Amino acid sequence: MIPRKYPCKSVTYDHDYESKNQTDPFWQNPAITADFYDLTSWKNGRNGAIAEKVGDVRFHNFKVADNKLAGIEFSVTDHHGDNTTRINGALIVGRTNNSELALEISEPYGIINPRTENFRVDGARFFNFDWNEAAALSSCSHCFHP
């Protein structure tokens, strides 16, 4: 998901954008922000929320718990720069009192960060990552890909 101002229009790189006094080589169809708010997700077989290849996508106030791989995972962030892709104000719980065997034997992460740059996390709170090799943060989502 790489949201653009005109979603049905093609994305064209303008090699002469600077001579036209533009700061974005994709100025004819600029990137825009996609905001997602207040997701509550728990006990998923993989992640509470996952974003694969994304542009300026922002998750606000997500609440995730008891997920076997990760609370939230971003795989590849597009090259918009300025840390536009982000998580704001998340509540991430590794394990609640309502646990189950599949979770007890797993080693989840709170957030799995992307394998690219330009990603930011603000105001995330992490709880109960205190068993096996569970951890609040992990790096390099899907780094086994070529």
- pLDDT at residue 145 in the model: 67
Which residues of the chain register pLDDT less than 50?
none
- pLDDT at residue 2 in the model: 87
Contacts of 8 (CB under 8 A, 6+ apart): none
According to DSSP H, which parts of 61-124 are helical?
A: 101-104
- pLDDT at residue 16 in the model: 94
- pLDDT at residue 37 in the model: 98
Tokens of 25: 């080589």
> Quick one: DSSP state of residue 132?
T
Using DSSP, state whether 18 is helix, strand or coil: helix
Q: Is the pTM of this model over 0.75?
A: yes
